[in-house]
Amino acid sequence: MSNKKRVVVLGAGVTGLSAAYRLSQNSDFEVHVFEKEKEVGGLCRSFREDGFILDYGPHKFYTLIDGVLDEMCKIMGDDFLSLEKSQNLFLKGKYFDFPLKISEMLTKFPPHKSVEILASFGVSAVKNLKDKTEPKNYEDFIVQKFGKSLYNQIFEPMANKMFGNPRQLDPQLARVRISSPGLVSVIKQLLSRKSVDKTISAPNFHYPKYGFGMIPEKLKEKSESRGVNFHLGVKVKELKLNNGMLSGISFEDSSGALQTLSCDEVIYTIPMQAIADLIPSLSTELRQACRFVSFRHTIVYYYLLKSQPVLPAMWVFYPESRFRFGRLSEMTKFSPYTAPLGHTALMVDFTCDDLDPTWSMDDGELNEMLLAQLKPLKLFNRDQVIKNFSRRFRNFYPSYKIGYQERVDKIRSLEREMHNIYFAGRLGDFNYNNSDQCFDMGYKAAEHIEQGKQSVESWGELRQNRFEKYRIVD
């Protein structure tokens, strides 16, 4: 009989895979990864279509976390390209660098708009000196940092597209998602002529040669070679309890048969609210918390084009309400190996919820709406389109509605009660993070289990002192 400790990992996205990869290096553990899809990678997968390699929206690998890039370079080897980043903002018919440069605000905006932006910022700065009130919502946070004018022109319409009504969103979303400290830092950097602050904007990043999906595939390959068991295309039905701790899982395999597997530890990286369906005995209070916790969905619409690259940058943000989409990106700018010679692939991002009419549109309706909105941008002609289609994803972005933190903390209380479950990753821990942070979180969960740090404080401190300090750097 084996003395190995059995660890179950729910979900084979980057977080789950990094945890499995780390545990696979220790022969004291037997690791099982469960994934409902037939492929690993979650939101970081790539797929092939008519000779193209396509991602689920634009991805980059950039990190400020010590050790993470070194480990990823070791995993990826020569297939990890180093790229200089380019991203733009399209506003009033002009392309701007993003994050916004003060020089462009003064030269590309109409003079009265530049004055309005700076004056609005000045008003907010003076008000903040007198009033130290903490922001109550996303809108308050942005207005304090950038002023009302810039908020109205850029941040409010983008927030509506990406996250929902900014007045109903917790300010923590802005803290995580917007790395710039505000216009003061932008002006200081301009005057001092310092190099780009890498904590605000990533000047370069890494990207796999044949699509971002190479990262999860490599993690699976290396983990599997060391004995990790992958259960793909299966549906987890229940988490079993014994004396208040998780003792096993029941799952429906690819043939439809119901099976049970005992376990000692569970690393949970699937959507947080799904735990209400997996543990029938959860209290009413916890079930209500799960109903409140929700995610935004995403549609990525693809145009496969017989054309040279069409965008001026890797990706471009479109805040104006005349565009339903929030961002365009182009695969060939990340790697020329992702498209046949003389071709390119344009990706269009939509973020939605269940009630959004866009979520209910079929591909034909989406295409006609898109072509009408893309026409003034003059990126391509209809006769250059080889193929167009969408991919749709539920549970893509955590929805940081006001009140979310209290509910998330209630669900996380299961970690203290059970002592052998770890909520981790964007979906599992309801943590708006990027792939490098997902990798780090999975790695740390595995290390925590490996080192036997079962005290509640140790894992809680790790979350408070490390995970909750993650910031998105564009």
Q: How large is the average pLDDT for residues 252-279?
A: 95
∠ CA(328), CA(151), CA(134), 5° rounding? 125
Local structure of residue 24 (DSSP, 8 states)? T
Domain ranges within the chain, ordered by starting residue: 5-44+66-72+211-293+401-469, 100-197
Q: For residues 250 and 117, which has the higher predicted lDDT (pLDDT)?
A: 250
Say if CB 304 and CB 51 are below 8 A apart: no
Look at residue 323 and tell me whether its pLDDT is greater than 90. Answer: yes
Q: Which residue has the tokens 């990798």?
A: 439
Query: Could you give the angle at which helices 456-465 and 435-450 cross, rounded to 10 degrees?
Result: 160
What local confidence, expressed as pLDDT, does residue 122 receive? 78
Confidence of residue 106 (pLDDT cuts 50, 70, 90): confident
Rg from Cα positions in the chain: 23
Q: Give the model's confidence band at 446: pLDDT under 50 very low, under 70 low, under 90 confident, else very high.
A: very high
Residue recorded with tokens 């079929």: 362
Reported confidence tier of residue 113, pLDDT bands at 50, 70, 90 = confident
In the predicted structure, residue 364 carries a pLDDT above the cut 90: yes
What is the average pLDDT value for the chain, to the nearest integer?
90
**Three-state secondary structure call for residue 101:** coil
Average the pLDDT over 316-340 and give the result. Answer: 96
85 has a pLDDT exceeding 90: yes
Cβ atoms of 252 and 292 within 8 Å: the answer is: no
| DSSP 8-state class, residue 93 | T
Report the pLDDT value the prediction gives residue 180, as an integer from 0 to 100.
56
Asked if residue 197 has pLDDT above 60, the reply is no
| pLDDT score, position 184 | 52
In this structure, of 6-15, 31-40, 144-153, the range with the lowest mean pLDDT score is: 144-153
CB 273 within 8 A of CB 414: no
Q: How far apart are CA 383 and CA 5, in angstroms?
A: 59
What was the pLDDT predicted at 101? 75
Residue pair 396/297 in contact (Cβ under 8 Å)? The answer is yes
Over residues 274-283, the pLDDT tens digits come to: 999 999 999 9
pLDDT of residue 191: 47
pLDDT > 70 in the chain, percent: 93
Q: Which of 137, 145, 140, 99 is nearest to 120 (CA)?
A: 145
pLDDT surpasses 60 at 186: no
As given in the structure block, the two tokens for residue 439 are 């990798």
What pLDDT shows up at residue 453? 53
Q: Once rounded to an integer, what is the mean pLDDT over residues 10-23?
A: 98
Q: Mean pLDDT, to the nearest integer, of 72-86?
A: 95
* Partners of 315 in beta bridges: 87, 329
125 pLDDT more than 80: no
At 45, is the pLDDT very low, low, confident or very high (cuts 50, 70, 90)? very high
Residue pair 135/171 in contact by the 8 Å Cβ criterion = yes
Q: Which residues of 189-226 are buried (b: 16+ CB within 10 A; e: fewer)?
A: beeeeeeebeebbbeebbbbbebbbbbbbbbbebbbee
pLDDT at 73 over 60: yes
What pLDDT was estimated at residue 465? 87
What pLDDT is stored for residue 163 in this prediction? 92
Q: Are the C-beta atoms of 172 and 136 separated by less than 8 Å?
A: no
- Helix then strand count (H, E) for the chain reads 18, 19
Gap between the Cα atoms of 289 and 403, Å rounded: 10
Q: Tell me the pLDDT tens digit for each residue of 386-406.
A: 999 999 999 999 999 999 999
Query: Which of 142-156, 197-211, 305-319, 362-376 shows the lowest mean pLDDT across its residues?
Result: 197-211
**Integer Cα distance of 148 and 228 in angstroms:** 52
What is the bridge-based pairing of β-strands 315-317 and 87-91? parallel
Q: Which CATH class is domain 5-44+66-72+211-293+401-469?
A: alpha beta
Mean pLDDT of 371-381: 96
Q: Which two tokens stand for residue 454?
A: 């079962």
